[in-house]
Chains A and B, each alone.
Chain A
Amino acid sequence: MSPVAGSVFGIHAAYWNTALLKTLAVLIVAPTGALIIVYVFMFKMMAHMQSRLGPMDVGPHGTLQPVAEAVKWLQKEDVFPARADSRVFALAPLVVLVSTFLIYVVIPVSPRAVAADLDTGVLFALAVSSLSVIGVLMAGWASANKYSLMGALRAAGQLIAYELPLVLAVVGVVMQAGSLNLNTIVLAQAHFKLFGVGGIGFFAIPQFVGLLLFLVAAQAELTQTPFDMPIAESELVAGYLTEYTGFRFLLFFIGEFATAFALAALAATLFLGGWYFPGYGLHWGGLAWGRQLVGPAVLVAKVLIVAFFIFWIRFSFPRFREDQLQAFAWKFLIPLALVNITLTGVLKVAVHA
């Protein structure tokens, strides 16, 4: 049997076309998300909260400042510390970035636009988001710097501790939707009726506790301020980032904020209905494909709302100490998540019975 005409490695060329397109889409969307987050929140919102203007000169209202920053980092020398394990040191930012990109793969931006419509989408997203721990540990160990090492170990402990509430917070949603597929969860929210009223019933209302838990745990996963012990500029200089400069620091930087965007998108999808806009049917303006066009905009709007809360906390709070942070996860968040799951199960059975 001869291979089909126009095939590569025995697989039809059309597959490669779509795969290439999807890969490109993810590779473009993730840094764009990071750019949006950096400009809107890190530069402008932080500045206005602190009675400053933030960048104003590059582009209209400073919009091109993130690009200028990226170019600045690209120009910098790629420094390896003398005693660094250079291969691991070079690889670490890539590992972090891969973990970030993989989250984007399963997030649906409209009924059909999703890079990989996995049946276990939620599980996949949460699993790959914790891959970044490996990159962080590699960075901390390979830097041959005590501050980096301490930062990396703190990060590892923290990310493992907060992975649990992150997953448990989602379980309630999964039980309500009856699926792990993110698109199915969005559709379940579109059809969800709260006290008989349809169209507004996002899971944020019945799963309010879940949403709060998810946001707190996401904050910790992102090592943002109440939980930024691993970075902790004022004590560990910059934690595992201390020895990184230029291009490699940029990779970490993109990884951090692209993950913020991705986790906000995940929260928006799970709790706020994702690409679904309430009040309209699943057809937009009578067009079956109208939804495909509006979906991404709706999702980005919801992401910005979620990210606003994440960054609001980031700019306002002092940070927890390492032991307080662990105690908070194990003694408060996880029990609360378990109670939430129990209540969701009981209510689901009671309402349906």
Chain B
Amino acid sequence: MSVTEHQKSVYIAGQAADARISFDIEAEGMTLNLGPQHPATHGTLRIVVRLDGEQVIWADPIPGYMHRGYEKLCEVRDYAQVTTLINRIDWLGSFANEVPFILAAEELMGIEAPPRAQYIRTVLFEMARLANVSLFLGDMGVQLGAITPVFYAFRDREFVLNLIESATGGRFHPNFDRIGGLKDDLPKGWIEESKGALERIRSFCDQMEDLLVGNIIFQERTRGIGIIPRDVALDYGMSGANARASGIDWDLRRDEASPLAWKHADWKVFTHPDGDSFARYWVRLQEVRESTRIIEQLLGGLPAGPIRAKVPARIRVPKGEAWVHTENPLGEMGYYVVSDGSPGGPFRCKIRTPSFSNISVVPWLLRGVYVPDVITILASLYFILGDIDR
């Protein structure tokens, strides 16, 4: 049956009416553009919020202002060069970005790094977590108006960064992981030195517990704010501390068979049933403490031996596909590496970053909250722009 002129005009009139109605609805309230230049967005995340007074009617995150095309760039670099790039994805915990990619490459080549390398990898991985999450613990205070905690965070993170620097040569971008092992062994005296830094981080956690967690204003501002129920967190593919704060007991370090050394340490996965901003802060605080315990135990039982397996001088990854994901500071990070067997780099490298999934819950979460809580929620979700846009 063909569409008559009448039907057409009815359809057009209906569309026009819809447009008018939606225009009328939109004319209420005020559109506020949070970002891309805004102090609370950790970089260049842009969120357009529609406000009724101070209440958010809807919110729309617009990522992409820092998109650098890493997935495509990975295709035109060889495997050794890719780590330089992916260091810059989550720039606060850089070493943790390298590990899953290298593990994927090792899986494709059928190489396994010697145990000492796996231990040191795990230690540096957890160091990256300390450097990353301790900054969050202070930064959350700044977002809520307490300016002092972040300075403590910067002060104590410095000890961790110094350790990372003395082991790898790079403070933020170590570029230390190699296929089949590591670039170097740990320097002399490093293990002794690390004890002091771990002690600093632990006392920093205690300070944060006193300054923020125990503070009644902090609790008022975070408890019951931005509640993500368990099923919503699952639906949006949230991972890491954000998922664990919603009561999902899922940690890839424990649940995934991995060549890394977490299984050799005795540690605990923390979850929180509430799913609010406070829970997310609390879970991360406990994770930092657990991280220091992991590092201590692994360094205590560090096996002797080589730090690199036998790897051909010219790396040629055979044809195949590999998917490796790990529990990064921000959540589940995975690399899907496809090799076509050519001598260059990967044929395709899909990067799954935790922040991108974690902030996808923002439109659902921000509906109906007040403007100050927008900042609390964004801060407690803890994203890093490089990790969203890559």
Say yes or no: B151 contacts A324, CB within 8 Å: no
Within 8 Å of chain B (Cβ to Cβ): is A23? no
Q: Contacts A50-B152, A146-B32, A234-B145 hold; do A229 and B218 have CB atoms under 8 A apart? A: no
A319/B152 in contact, CB under 8 A = no
* Nearest neighbor of A233 in chain B, beta-carbon distance: B39
Is B211 in the interface zone, CB < 8 Å from A?
yes
Chain B residue numbers with a CB within 8 Å of A123 are none
| Cβ-defined contact, A322 with B152, below 8 A | no
Q: How far apart are the CA atoms of A49 and B151 in the complex, in Å?
A: 9
Does A228 make an interface contact (CB < 8 A)? yes
Q: Which applies to chain B's interface (DSSP): helix, strand, loop or mixed?
A: helix
Given contacts A234-B39, A237-B38, contact A318 B215 (CB under 8 A): yes
**What 0/1 readout, one digit per residue, does chain A (205-247) give for beta carbons within 8 Å of chain B?**
0000000000000000000011011001111110000000000
Q: Are A232 and B152 CB-contacts (below 8 A) given A146-B32, A317-B146, A318-B217?
A: no
Residues on the B chain within 8 Å of A316, using CB: 146, 148, 211
Interface segment among B110-118, B302-310, B367-375: the answer is: B367-375
Chain B nearest Cβ from A317, distance in angstroms? 6
Q: How far is the CA of A164 from the CA of B253 in the complex (A)?
A: 56
Q: Indicate which residue in B32, B141, B155 contacts A318 across the interface (CB closer than 8 Å).
A: B141
Contact across chains for B155 and A51 when beta carbons are under 8 A apart: yes
In the complex, are the beta carbons of B218 and A232 less than 8 A apart?
no
A150 vs B53: C-alpha distance when bound (angstroms): 9
| Structural contact, B151 and A237, CB atoms closer than 8 A | no
Residue of A nearest to B142 (CB): A234
Contact A49 B148 (CB under 8 A): yes
Whether A77 is near chain B, meaning CB under 8 Å from some CB there, is: no
Asked if A225 contacts B145 (CB within 8 A), the reply is: yes
Instruction: Give the secondary structure class of A's interface.
Output: helix
Asked if B374 and A235 sit within 8 Å, CB to CB, the answer is yes
> Which single residue of chain A is at the shortest CB-CB distance from B373?
A321
B24: Cβ under 8 A from any A Cβ: no
Q: How far, in angstroms, from A117 to B32 measured CA to CA in the complex?
A: 49
With known contacts A228-B145, A233-B39, A320-B217, A50–B370 Cβ distance under 8 A: no
The verdict on A283 contacting chain B, using a C-beta distance below 8 Å, is: no
CA–CA, A105 to B124, complex, Å?
63
B371 touches A146 (CB 8 A): no
> In the bound complex, do residue A318 and residue B145 qualify as a contact, i.e. CB atoms below 8 Å apart?
yes
Contact, CB under 8 Å: A322 / B145? no
Choose from A50, A150, A318 the contact partner of B151 (Cβ within 8 Å). A50
Taking a contact as CB atoms under 8 Å apart, the answer to whether B141 and A150 are in contact is no
**In the complex, what residue of chain A is closest to B34 when comparing beta carbons?**
A235
Asked if B54 lies at the interface with its beta carbon under 8 angstroms from chain A, I say yes
Interface positions of B from 173 to 216, Cβ below 8 Å from A: 211-212, 215
Contact A321 B370 (CB under 8 A): yes
Q: Judge whether A318 and B30 touch: CB under 8 Å.
A: no
Q: List A41-71 residues whose CB lies under 8 Å from chain B.
A: 46, 49-52
With an 8 A cutoff between CB atoms, is B132 at the interface? no
Does B361 have its Cβ within 8 Å of any Cβ on chain A?
Answer: no
What is the CB-to-nearest-CB distance from A231 to chain B, in angstroms, rounded to a whole number?
9
How many chain B residues sit at the interface, stated as a range, is 20 to 34
A318/B218 in contact, CB under 8 A:
yes
Any A CB within 8 A of the CB of B221: yes
Nearest-neighbour CB distance to chain B for A206, whole angstroms, equals: 28
CB distance from A154 to the nearest CB of B (A): 8
When distances are taken between beta carbons in the complex, the residues of chain A under 8 Å from B40 are 234-235
Specify which chain A residues have a CB less than 8 angstroms from the CB of B54 in the assembled complex.
Answer: 150, 322
B169 CB, nearest partner CB in chain A, Å: 27
Query: What interface size band does chain A fall in?
Result: 20 to 34
Residue of A whose beta carbon sits closest to that of B40 = A234
Answer whether A232 and B145 are a contact pair too, CB < 8 Å, given A237-B38, A318-B217, A321-B221. Answer: yes
Flag if B371 contacts A235 (CB, 8 Å).
yes
Kindly report which residue of chain B lies nearest to residue A324, judged by CB atoms.
Answer: B220
Neighbouring B residues of A124 by C-beta, 8 Å: none
Q: Which of B123-168 contact A (CB under 8 A)?
A: 141-148, 151-152, 155
A25 CA to B147 CA, complexed, in Å? 35
Assess A320 versus B38: contact at CB under 8 Å? Given A50-B152, A51-B155, A234-B143: no
Q: Is A249 an interface residue (CB 8 A)?
A: no
Contacts of B38 in A (CB 8 A): 237
Q: A residues within 8 A CB of B218?
A: 318
Q: Which of A52, A146, A228 contacts B30 (CB 8 A)?
A: A146
Q: Which A residue sits closest to B32, measured CB to CB? A: A146
Contact B148 A50, beta carbon cutoff 8 Å? yes
A235's nearest neighbour on chain B, judged by CB, is B375
Contacts of B146 in A (CB 8 A): 225, 316-319
Q: How far, in angstroms, from A319 to B32 measured CA to CA in the complex? A: 22
Question: Within the assembled complex, what's the spacing in Å between the Cα atoms of A235 and B144?
Answer: 9
A319-B145, A322-B54 given; A232·B151 CB < 8 A = no
Q: For residue A232, give the distance in angstroms from its CB to the closest CB of chain B.
A: 7
| A226 near B217: Cβ-Cβ < 8 Å | yes
What residues of chain A lie closer than 8 Å to B220, measured between beta carbons? 320-321, 324
Residues of chain A lying within 8 A (CB to CB) of residue B221: 318-321, 324
Task: State how many angstroms separate the Cβ of B210 from the closest Cβ of chain A.
Answer: 10
Q: Is the CB of A322 within 8 A of B372?
A: yes
Given the complex, which residues of B lie within 8 Å of A233, measured CB to CB? 39
Give Cα A51–Cα B148 distance, bound, in whole angstroms.
9
Q: Report B8 CB to chain A, min CB distance, Å.
A: 42
Query: Of the candidates B142, B145, B151, which one forms a contact with A52 in the assembled complex, judged by CB atoms under 8 Å apart?
Result: B151
The digit string for B323-354, where 1 denotes a CB below 8 A from any CB of A, is 00000000000000000000000000000000
Tell me, in angstroms, the Cα distance from A349 to B307 when the chains sit together: 86
User: Which of these, A46, A228, A315, A322, contacts B370 with CB under 8 Å?
Assistant: A322
Give 1 or 0 for each of B348-387: 1 = CB within 8 Å of chain A CB.
0000000000000000000000111111000100000000
| Contact yes or no, B39 A317, CB < 8 A | no
Give min CB distance, A235 to chain B, whole Å. Answer: 4
Closest to B222 in A: A318
A323-B370 CB under 8 A given contacts A52-B151, A146-B32, A234-B39: yes
Closest 8 CB pairs of A and B: A319-B145, A50-B151, A318-B144, A318-B146, A235-B375, A318-B145, A321-B372, A234-B143
- Cross-chain pairs A/B with CB under 8 angstroms, 29 sampled: A46-B147, A49-B148, A225-B145, A225-B147, A226-B217, A232-B145, A232-B372, A234-B143, A234-B144, A234-B375, A235-B374, A235-B375, A236-B371, A316-B146, A316-B148, A316-B211, A317-B215, A317-B217, A318-B141, A318-B212, A318-B215, A318-B218, A319-B145, A319-B221, A320-B221, A322-B54, A322-B370, A324-B220, A324-B221
Q: Taking A146-B32, A147-B32, A316-B211 as given, write out 13 further A-B residue pairs in contact, using a Cβ cutoff of 8 Å, ordered by the A residue number.
A: A51-B151, A225-B145, A225-B147, A232-B372, A234-B143, A318-B145, A318-B146, A318-B212, A320-B217, A321-B370, A322-B370, A323-B370, A324-B220
